[in-house]
Chains A and B, each alone.
Chain A
Amino acid sequence: MDQRAPNLLDEALGLVDEEKTKPWPLSSRVVLVEDRVETSGAFVLHHLLKRALSPHSSNDVVVFLAFSQPFSHYDRVLRKLGCNLTAQRENNRFFFLDLLVSEFPDGDEGNRDGLVALYGKIEKLVSTSFQENKKCITIVIDDFSLMEVAANGATNYVLDFLRYCHALTSTFGCSLVVLNHEDIYSSIERPALILQMEYLADILIKAEPLATGLATDVHGQGVLFCESRWCN
């Protein structure tokens, strides 16, 4: 099977590149993936990982902030998709930050070590890669609601972190992919966090269950929203 055989998601995101001349089309873009309890949107992350780490583009680097699953899980999933994460990690193309047990308490005084230090780490990885002439750097966050829990609910704190990462997209031309759960915020009256994230995002991908219920072969439906200024 041709590894680059495009599917609808690729086409919608502009990832189809026959001549391999265009740069990574998600550069400087923010992608927000929203999912629900019934339908997980993690498959979009796996797919983007696979595309970002494909052998054709040896200049790509992925910085992965994992709050949800350990490395072994992604390793197995991507292996089935034809991508060897262990090898990519050794080649310094895939940086996996295991944040499953990390806590980021927000203190009033200067105890903001957690997220500030994390941002510093990311910024260092991104700028080093940029200086090494890596064309496309992708930062992936899986998933953002768990970062909120790690910060004990300090919404402004995590939003600041997100904005700083967003600033990296314009400074270094990297792309930012974030996964969050839309049904958590749908019952809040003014869900500031998700609204701000949707505002920052250039591309919004929603994974939803089928309106008609269960089906054997179809697991759900995806809706892709794209900011008009970026669409070609």
Chain B
Amino acid sequence: MGYVDDQFSQLHKLQDESSPDFVVEVASLFFDDAEKLINSMARALEQPCVDFKQVDSHVHQLKGSSSSIGALRVKNVCIAFRSFCDAQNREGCMRCLQQVSHEYTMLKSKLQTLFRMEQQILAAGGSVPLE
């Protein structure tokens, strides 16, 4: 399964002269937001008495962001994560949290690599094809 889905290419379509760094902007926002959410989730799950509603709320938000940016895998993990939250399964939540964190990290590194490469191309005078 790919790391990003069609949404990501949609983001690229939105990038134009008026917002040349749109994708990078959005991705950056996503990274910041996702990290915050993952940290909050970890904190919540570490509590002796886990507030699953809170955790669920975070997961929901992460799911929304990831789907907006096209982070497919992260989104899928979030879906599973939510069901564990509903079941108030702490073990399951912990597992999902780790998975989310893992997926997110992978995604971030890959995207950052991608962006770096794009910048290099642009810097070299080339152009990055949208498709």
Indicate, yes or no, whether A interacts with B: no
Binding site for B on A (CB under 8 A): none
